[in-house]
Structure 1
Amino acid sequence: MQVRLLAGSIVDTFGLRCYCSSSSKWDIFAALCLERRPIIVPEMNIIEKAMHNLTLNYENSRSLLSDHEVKMIRDKERLERLSSGAEVSSEDFDQAALETAQEFEDKFNEELKKLELAPRKTKDDETSNFKSLNRCLDHRLLFFINSQVGNHDKWTLPFVKIDKQSSLRQAIDELTSQLFPENQLTLRVLGNAPLAVYTYKYGAKNRKTLGATGAKVFILKAYHLNGTPQMVESNKSLFHDYKWLTINESRKIIPSAFWKVLRRSHVIDTVPENVVKASLAVVTRKKEESKVAAHSSN
C-alpha cells in the first residue's frame, strides 16, 4: 500500500521506502501572519439580532420569575391591600416602610443613565491611521509590510526564505527578532505547524534564472501581545513601510490569490449585507415550503 504525501513523495508502508515522485524544485518560504485580536465585541448583524430576539422571547416565555419580579408582584399586592382599607397585618406595614422593588429598579436606571460608554470609533479610525493599533477595535488586524519582492516593492506578510538547515518555526523566530529588534514588540507564535500554504509558480524566465518551479509560502500564525513596531536602522533593509489592516482592507493591496488563502484561514469578522439578505431569503423560503407541505399533508 502506498500513501502520497503533500511534498510529492511516496511512502511504501510495507517496504519502508521513500522516493520523490517529481523532479521539480520549489523555493520554500516562511511567512508571519501577525494578528491583533479584537478588543471589543463586534455589533450583531441582522441574522444574529434575529436569533438573539428569538432566544430572548423563548426564554422569557419559558423561564420562572426572578426574585426581583416576585418582589414586584408582592409589592403591588401589598399596596392594593393598604389602599383598599381592608384589614392588613403588621408585616405589611413593616414591608411597606422598606425600599420597594420599583424604587430599587428606578435607582439603578438613574445610575445607568449617568454611565457614558466609550465610543466604538477612535480618532485613528477617523483619520485612517493604518499604523495604529487603536483602530477597528471590533475587528482583527493583520500586520503587512512593504518590501522588495523581485524588482518591485509590494505589500505582503513578512516572509523569509528557508535554508536547508532551518525549520519553519526557527525561520519565523529569526524573522521576528530582525523585524522587531530591541523588544519593541511582544508576540506569541502559535505552534510549529503552518496556518495555510500559498503556492506561486514563477514565469518561464524566472524559472531558468532561479532554477525553481515556483515558491511555496508556509504561513505561521502569531498573536500580538503588546508594543508597537518601529522603523529603525536594523530593520529598514527588511521593509520600507508597514500597515495594520483588516482582512477586507488587505484585499486592496495584496494579490487576490494570496488574499483568498488568508480569507479562508480566518474566522469571518463581518458578513456582507448581500450574504445576510440572501441567507434570510433562503430561511424564509424554506419556512414557507414547510408550511405548504404541512398543509398539504393535512
Structure 2
Amino acid sequence: MSSSVRRTRSVVLTVSKLFKCRSACIIGTQHNRYYSQSVAAELSETPEKWDLVGAMYLERLPVITPPLRKIEKRYKEYRHQIEVENSLLSDYEIAKIQEEDRLALQTKNVLDTPLHLRNVPVQTMQDREEIWNKELAEFSPAPRVTEADESGDMKSLDRKLDQTLVLLVKQKIDGKEYWYLPMLQYIAGTSMRQVAEQAVANTCGADLKIQTFGNAPSGYQLKMYNKELQEDTKAKGRKIFIYKAEYRSGLVTPSKDSVLDYVWVAPSELRQYVGRTTSRIFNKFNIY
C-alpha cells in the first residue's frame, strides 16, 4: 500500500508541475503579444515621412576601346605568337605559294611559253600586297584625343571617348545649388520609372533620346533634411530612387527655369562635383 501511495503522489506532483509550466508559458506569450502591440501602436502614432524622388543615372558608353595596359599587351603578343605557330596556312597563303611556284617554272621554261603570252601583264598577289601596303601607309586613324579633350569642354559628348560619361545637372534645391543627377519628386498616379524619365525630359529637353533599363531602380540614396526643413516639410528627408539609362541620340537642351548648368563627367571626375559619399554610390553603377 505504501508503494502505491508514493506512486500516486509522484504522479500528482508531475501533473501539477506541468500545469504550472503551461500557465507560465501562456502568461509569457500574452505578455510578449501585449508588448509587441504596444510598440506597434507607438510606432504608428509617430510615423516617419519621406519625400520620394526619382533620379536618372544617364551614361554615354565608351566609343573606342581603352589603351591596353602592359600586362594586356604582353598577353596579346603571347597569344598571337601561339596562334601563328599552331595555325595552318590560309587559302590566300596557299594560293600565293602556288603562284610563286608557277611563275618560277614559267621563268625557267620561258621558251616553251607561246609568244602571245610572254609579254601579257599579269597582276600577281605580290603586286596586290604592295598596293595594299601603300594604301595602309597613306591611312591615318582618327586621333584618340579630340578637340573637346584639348579645350576642356565638359558639355561635349566627344570627350574621353574611351571612358563612360555620366550626365550631371546643377539645380537649386532647398535654396542651395547642387550638382546631381536629373531628378523629380514623385507624381501621384505614375510609376517611379516614369518620374525618372520625366526628370530627364524636364531638365534636358525632349530632344535627348535615352534607353532605360528595367522597371526597378538600380539603387537608392537617402538625403536627410536639416531641422528647419524637417519642420517645414514635415518629412525626415528625401529618398532618391536611381534608375539607369543609356544615351542614344540628341543633345542636351537645359531648362532655363530649373537647370543652372550641366556637364558630362567621367567616373573619376564625379567626386569633385557630388562629393565622396555620393560618388561611391554612383561608381557602383559603372560597368565599363
The structure with the largest alpha-carbon Rg is: 2
In terms of fraction of residues, the more helix-rich structure is 2
| Aligned-residue RMSD, C-alpha | 3.2
Amino acid aligned to 1:223: E
C-alpha separation in 2, matches of 1:112 and 1:87: 35
C-alpha separation in 1, matches of 2:75 and 2:174: 50
1:39 is aligned to 63
**DSSP-derived class of the 1:139 partner:** coil
1:167 is aligned to 191
Structure 2: stretches of 5+ with no match in the other structure: 1-39
Identify if the C-alpha distance between structure 1 residues 199 and 228 changes in structure 2 by more than 3 Å, giving closer, same or farther.
same
2:258 is aligned to 238
**DSSP-derived class of the 1:35 partner:** strand
Identify if the C-alpha distance between structure 1 residues 204 and 53 changes in structure 2 by more than 3 Å, giving closer, same or farther.
farther
TM-score by length of 2: 0.72
Identify if the C-alpha distance between structure 1 residues 25 and 51 changes in structure 2 by more than 3 Å, giving closer, same or farther.
farther
Query: Which of 175, 185, 196 is the aligned partner of 2:219?
Result: 196
Aligned pair 1:263/2:286, yes or no? Answer: no
Q: CA deviation at 1:241?
A: 0.6
C-alpha separation in 1, matches of 2:175 and 2:286: 30
Query: Which of 168, 172, 182 is the aligned partner of 1:148?
Result: 172
Percent identity over paired residues: 29
Amino acid aligned to 2:165: L
Q: 1:278-289 residue pairs with structure 2 within 5 A?
A: none
**DSSP-derived class of the 1:38 partner:** coil
1:101 is aligned to 125
Q: CA deviation at 1:86?
A: 7.7
Task: Say if 1:81 and 1:88, in contact at 8 Å, map to a contact too.
Answer: no
Identify if the C-alpha distance between structure 1 residues 134 and 87 changes in structure 2 by more than 3 Å, giving closer, same or farther.
closer
Query: Which of 68, 74, 97 is the aligned partner of 1:73?
Result: 97
1:133 is aligned to 157
- 1:48-87 Cα deviation digits (max 9, x unpaired): 323322322222122211122223333444455566x589
Structure 1: stretches of 5+ with no match in the other structure: 1-18, 269-298
C-alpha separation in 2, matches of 1:133 and 1:36: 8
C-alpha separation in 1, matches of 2:81 and 2:172: 57
Query: Which of 70, 75, 80 is the aligned partner of 1:51?
Result: 75
**DSSP-derived class of the 2:247 partner:** strand
- 1:28-59 Cα deviation digits (max 9, x unpaired): 21111122222233322334323322322222
**Number of residue pairs matched by the alignment:** 243
